Amino acid sequence: MTQPHQTLGEFIIEHQRAFKYSTGELSRLINSIRLAAKVVNHEVNKAGLVDILGQHGETNIQGEDQQKLDVYANKLFIETLINREIVCGIASEEEDSFITVQGHNKAHDNKYVVLMDPLDGSSNIDVNVSVGTIFSVYRRITPIGQPVEMKDFLQPGNQQVAAGYIIYGTSTMLVYTTGHGVNGFTLNPAIGTYYLSNPNLKFPETGQIYSINEGNYVHFPQGVKDYIKYCQEEKDNRPYTSRYIGSLVSDIHRNMIKGGIYIYPKSSKVANGKLRLLYECNPMAFIVEQAGGKASDGYRRILDIQPTELHQRVPFFCGSKTMVEKAEEFMK
């Protein structure tokens, strides 16, 4: 078996000149996320051996029970980004509001803000199912030297300069884009180095998998019900296969490799859907589009939605382009 030779660090250095603002800060930011992800990966892999499973005993801003690893991962990513003095602000799904970051000289000279879901799908850890980290990077719009403001975080997804996810599974992979395609790097745990394993990831134009929690079928809009029935028909290379893990990173990663569509619609139970625009949908939509797929709320492009609040939720349809377009036809 041939061993991949290019490391994530080498890849970042080689490609940073293609980035619009080539000052090296974004490269350092990605490196910080890489470092924090290695530590989180180490903790995830100890699940069952030490007391990190189960609920923390508190709820987050969304009213959801926090898992112990949610709290750990959130603290670790925030501390890593602050200590390396690369960002001027951080917003996390686990925090009520955004965090303002000062440099060592008390100035606010950094250019980037990071929004993140530190541990997506964390309730699955107890049953040994893959979980992930999702991150999104924007260039600040307030003047450098001043504290960040809410408007720095409430930018539409089409203003992202980078986005990615880490999937902690049978192997640990970091997948990211800076607007020049999508590349995946697999961690070699023996030496703690990420190697380029999946260059230029692309969604198949169509696929055979649909991913949706069909247990909520009776609560779905009619368009979603009709699309599910379409997926189940014996006609034109259908029925499709239903595959739903319940971990957003895992479901989308599988569909990007094999071809498929992921849907978390609004319903009579969750009027605006469950997924967060800023921490989950925008970064995933950026990655999906860069990989040749499509992402929408059933009617409009996710990346064109103007956010109005930090923890805003939206319906989410994403995956192979022709499958998303077919779902949108049913939504009309």
Domain boundaries, the chain: 8-198, 209-331
Binding residues for Mg(2+): 93, 117, 119-120, 280
- For domain 8-198, the CATH architecture is 2-Layer Sandwich (3.30)
What's the average model confidence in pLDDT over 220-248? 96
Cβ neighbours, 10 Å, residue 206: 18
Sign, CA dihedral 191-131-186-72, equals negative
b/e burial code for range 159-168 (CB count within 10 A of at least 16 → b): ebbbbbbbbb
Single out the residue of 156, 155, 135, 142 nearest to residue 109, CA to CA: 142
How distant, in Å, are the alpha carbons of 92, 119, 168, 169 from that of 52?
20, 13, 15, 17
Task: Give residue 2's pLDDT.
Answer: 45
Binding residues: 93, 117, 119-123, 213, 244, 274, 280
Single out the residue of 298, 300, 321, 301 nearest to residue 227, CA to CA: 298
Binding residues for substrate: 120-123, 213, 244, 274
Q: Residue 153 half-sphere exposure, CB side, CA atoms within 13 Å?
A: 27
The pLDDT-based confidence of 59 (bands split at 50, 70, 90) is low
Higher pLDDT, 39 or 300: 300
What pTM was computed for the model?
0.92
pLDDT, tens digit (0-9, with 9 covering 90-100), for 246-294: 999 999 999 999 999 999 999 999 999 999 999 999 999 999 999 999 9
Pick the CATH number of 209-331 from 3.50.30.30, 3.40.190.80, 3.40.50.2300, 3.40.190.10: 3.40.190.80
Evaluate if residue 20 carries a pLDDT over 70: no
Strand 87-92 versus strand 112-120 pairing type: parallel
Task: Give residue 13's pLDDT.
Answer: 83
Single out the residue of 288, 17, 87, 263 nearest to residue 176, CA to CA: 288
- Same topology, domains 8-198 and 209-331? Answer is no
